[in-house]
Amino acid sequence: MKIIEVNTYFVRPRWGFVEIITDDGFTGWGEAVLEGHAAAVLACVQEYKDYLIGADPQRIQDIWSTIHRAGFYRGGGVLMSALSGIDQALWDIKGKIYGAPVWQLLGGACRDSMKVYSWIGGDRPSDVGAAALEKKNAGFSAVKMNATEELQMIDTYDKVDAVLERVAAIREACGKHFGIAIDFHGRVHKPMAKVLAKKLEEFDPMFIEEPVLCENMEVFSEIAAACNVPIATGERLFTKYDFKRLLACGGVDIIQPDLSHAGGISEVHKIGAMAEAYDVALAPHCPLGPIALAACLCVDAVSYNAVIQEQSIGIHYNVGKSVLDYVHNQDDFRFVDGYVQLPRLPGLGVDVNRELVIEENRTPHNWKNPVWRHRDGSVAEW
């Protein structure tokens, strides 16, 4: 069996898909995108075709290692996101060859379903309490919200108070034991992060996410010492080597590798096992499309330390198209009481609507994240 074709597609709202086809008629799908840089990632996939055409798609580890190591330069968002999508597509083919979900090929499931949470915005909300209650009434037991608008390194406490008021509104609306994850989104620097983390303790958050950027990962232990709230991070890290440094620094309780950025199923499976050895939980980052979500669920299924799965159905970024628009087997992604079943179909478990993908690619999106500025005109972290 040989790979004979590699296709790439832009799909709204901000994603990129990869299709790999073999001479035996098997097709695998992957999601290769770095939000805001879809064109660069899909161009990189096309560059990698030289490693793929004519190769045996079942030799996933060899293809992965060749692309990662033989190119000399490695790591980073663009290269690893391209490799991630390719890896997902190869695992999709492998599962279809053997007629089994990918999680079966990874050793079989250690759980029957996966807990999920839903997004409610949070940085510029109209009523986050009502939004969270709506999700609770829909069966979710947890939500995630952006903690704050843009913050300078040292900022005013009225912004801190506004964060506390928003979280208090959710706690009041949804009760003491409803899960609230609070995403700092890298917008906060160490001085204010310590303040916010400490003050948020009273609301018993499920976790705080990216209280500072991972480029300052040595600070996590300092923030952890300042509060009694679990800390999550990792969506901007790209290899097991990045996570090795993070885990060695300490202070982090939950890692959030993205299966479309951090090397796909092959690499994130290893990253999750590394974290388990540190008694650190796994909660894959996934504000993306159906292929990425299916890949996450395959890793969740076999990872004992997987605790909750992000998903982007209903997220405010999804404009024009949403997750389930691109799949025929929508019922397989139905949430019941805040849980989703493990993928059932062979491969990743997603039956892609290829006709819609091709139609979307005729008018490629050019999604870019907004550029925020502080009152003094300096660029703010988004």
Roughly what angle, to the nearest 10 degrees, separates helices 77-98 and 38-47? 60
In the structure encoding, which two tokens stand for residue 366, read together? 């050019």
In the structure encoding, which two tokens stand for residue 321, read together? 């198209």
Tell how strand 335-336 and strand 281-282 pair up.
Answer: unpaired
285 is catalytic: yes
Smallest CA-to-CA distance from 10 within 369, 361, 367 is with 361
253, 232 Cβ separation under 8 angstroms: yes
Report phi then psi at 15, rounded to 5: -110, 170
Phi-psi bin for 75: left (phi > 0), alpha (psi -120 to 50), beta? left
Smallest CA-to-CA distance from 46 within 82, 11, 17 is with 82
Catalytic residue among 185, 189, 261, 269, which?
185
28, 86 Cβ separation under 8 angstroms: no
CA distance 92 to 263: 15
Provide the terminal-to-terminal Cα distance of the chain, rounded to the nearest Å.
45
DSSP 8-state class, residue 306: B
Contacts of 39 (CB under 8 A, 6+ apart): 10, 364, 366
Contacts of 228 (CB under 8 A, 6+ apart): 201
Smallest CA-to-CA distance from 302 within 87, 115, 108 is with 108
Catalytic residue among 189, 261, 285, 365, which?
285
68 is catalytic: no
In the structure encoding, which two tokens stand for residue 304, read together? 């004992």
Catalytic residue positions, numbered:
185, 285
